[in-house]
Amino acid sequence: MDRQLDPGGGVDFSQLRRMPFDIGEPGDHESLVEPIYGSWEANVDHALRRSPIDICRSRREKQIVLGNFGLVRVLRPSDGSPLREGDFCMVMPFGRSDPYGYAELVFAYDMPGTIGLLAERTRINSDLLLPIPRDTRFSLGQWAAYARYFTAWDNWRCALACWRAQMPEADPADHLVFGWGGGVVFAELLLAKRAGFRVAMSTGSEIRAQLLRKHGIDPIMRPTGDPATSEDNGAGARTESLSHVDDFAARIAELTSGRGAAIVIDNIGEKLHALSLKLLGRQGVLTTCGWKLDMRISHLRGQECINRRLHVHTHAWRSLDIERIRDFSEEAEWIAPPESQVTYDFDEVPQLARDYVGGNLAPYFPLYRVNEP
Ligand SMILES: NC(=O)c1ccc[n+]([C@@H]2O[C@H](COP(=O)([O-])OP(=O)(O)OC[C@H]3O[C@@H](n4cnc5c(N)ncnc54)[C@H](OP(=O)(O)O)[C@@H]3O)[C@@H](O)[C@H]2O)c1
């Protein structure tokens, strides 16, 4: 697909169109695959906007094929690979990893030379292809949304370990985990609930609120306006949005008997940072794996020290854990619920891009279908 920036610096999605792209012959360790479902996520949107990084420039490539997460069918496995023709596989992100198995460069994102899933055929290093269970109870579409679940699993593992480091005897049932919107947070709060915590999540839509209730998550309508600029100006003049922020903080205080949340998950950024800290209790953990709106945050270090609050930053997940997370998903039925998904045809990708950026998607896990299952 080709894209151009409009003069205002935003993306003109009408410029997205299908075009020929030579994928070349698979290398020694690469399998030939056909993408079935791709998962539309913030990183595809970031890449289209060339912000926060311009990945064409960082990869020094004139044209790239995006689409780093989704489900593919193996057409021709590489020699010596345990994969079989016809296997359905999830694509793992490990373009380049550190010695401990954590991703440094992401496949079909900032890893040079990789070709993503927004193509009818592609070639992928066989080590990045994780087959779904052969006798799975779930649909291919449900598996295609795995990336935010795998990310949530890893972030939750770290956040929980940090909370336990200071609160070894505490009963999770007495504590609240709160998160700001999004598919990763939805998946992560379901893990928090399994661990025994009470869980609450913000949303801007009643349809999403219904989904959250159905899954045992307490929905809280999020503040309108920009919380970052909603402080009292010192002269008693309060903006309209401040009352929503106060209401929001009051709701969390009510849910925690005034102690604040044990863990706050924020993948949004600076706009919500001050409020996130206001919602967090002592010995609390502020955890993130995303920067949807901003990459920089600032806070008062002394206050965080005195309140003994730990800040956790993670990215993707560890290659050594992939089978474990997949098997947990199958066994625990911890997988995107069908009612949280919507699927667009390949030719509807420009509309999907528009709907995603316009906030017009009620489901958390939008997909595009490249080839028929
Ligand atoms: N590092 C990793 O491994 C990794 C992996 C996956 C995702 N991520 C990152 O995590 C972030 C979130 O991704 P996601 O896929 O979970 O979510 P997402 O689908 O991008 O949606 C984000 C949610 O944030 C809420 N939202 C939007 N603007 C908001 C605002 N101003 N204040 C409060 N809430 C707001 C919206 O929900 P409501 O309208 O319902 O409130 C929306 O559903 C992204 O930055 C993504 O890149 C990172």
Domains of the chain plus CATH, in order, are 13-145+336-369 (3.90.180.10), 148-313 (3.40.50.720)
10: tokens are 């935003």
Ligand 1, residue 315: give the atom nearest the CA.
1
Q: Atom 35, ligand 1: which residue's CA is nearest?
A: 181
> Three-class SS string for 182-220?
CHHHHHHHHHHHHCCCEEEEEECCHHHHHHHHHCCCEEE
Q: Is the CB of residue 265 less than 8 Å from the CB of residue 287?
A: yes
Q: Is the CB of residue 319 less than 8 Å from the CB of residue 92?
A: yes
Ligand 1, residue 316: give the atom nearest the CA.
3
- Separation CA 36–CA 86 (nearest Å): 12
Q: Atom 36, ligand 1: which residue's CA is nearest?
A: 181
Q: Is the CB of residue 103 less than 8 Å from the CB of residue 94?
A: yes
User: What is the predicted pLDDT for the residue at 3?
Assistant: 43
Q: Atom 13, ligand 1: which residue's CA is nearest?
A: 182
Q: Is the CB of residue 144 less than 8 Å from the CB of residue 37?
A: yes
Where does ligand 1 bind, in terms of residues with CB under 6 Å? 41-43, 148, 151, 180-185, 202-205, 208, 222, 267-268, 271-272, 289-292, 315-316, 359, 364
Which residues in the chain land under pLDDT 50?
Answer: 1-9, 232-240
Expressed in angstroms and rounded, the spacing between residue 270 Cα and the centre of ligand 1 is 13
User: What is the predicted pLDDT for the residue at 50?
Assistant: 86
User: What is the predicted pLDDT for the residue at 7?
Assistant: 35
Strands (DSSP E) found in the chain: 30-39, 70-76, 88-91, 94-97, 103-106, 122-125, 129-131, 176-180, 198-203, 218-221, 261-265, 280-288, 310-313, 341-345, 365-369
User: What is the predicted pLDDT for the residue at 229?
Assistant: 56
Expressed in angstroms and rounded, the spacing between residue 291 Cα and the centre of ligand 1 is 8
Identify the DSSP state of 338. G
229: tokens are 């600029």
- Separation CA 273–CA 311 (nearest Å): 12
Sign of torsion over alpha carbons 129, 134, 138, 140? positive
- What are phi and psi for residue 75, nearest 5 degrees? -95, -40
Expressed in angstroms and rounded, the spacing between residue 125 Cα and the centre of ligand 1 is 29
Q: Atom 39, ligand 1: which residue's CA is nearest?
A: 204
Exposure string over 116-145, b if 16+ CB within 10 A, otherwise e:
bbbbebbbbbbebbbbbeeebebebbbbbb
Q: Atom 19, ligand 1: which residue's CA is nearest?
A: 182
User: What is the predicted pLDDT for the residue at 225?
Assistant: 63
Q: pTM of the entire structure? A: 0.94
Ligand 1, residue 42: give the atom nearest the CA.
47
Distances, alpha carbon 163 to alpha carbons 266, 314, 330, in Å: 16, 15, 27
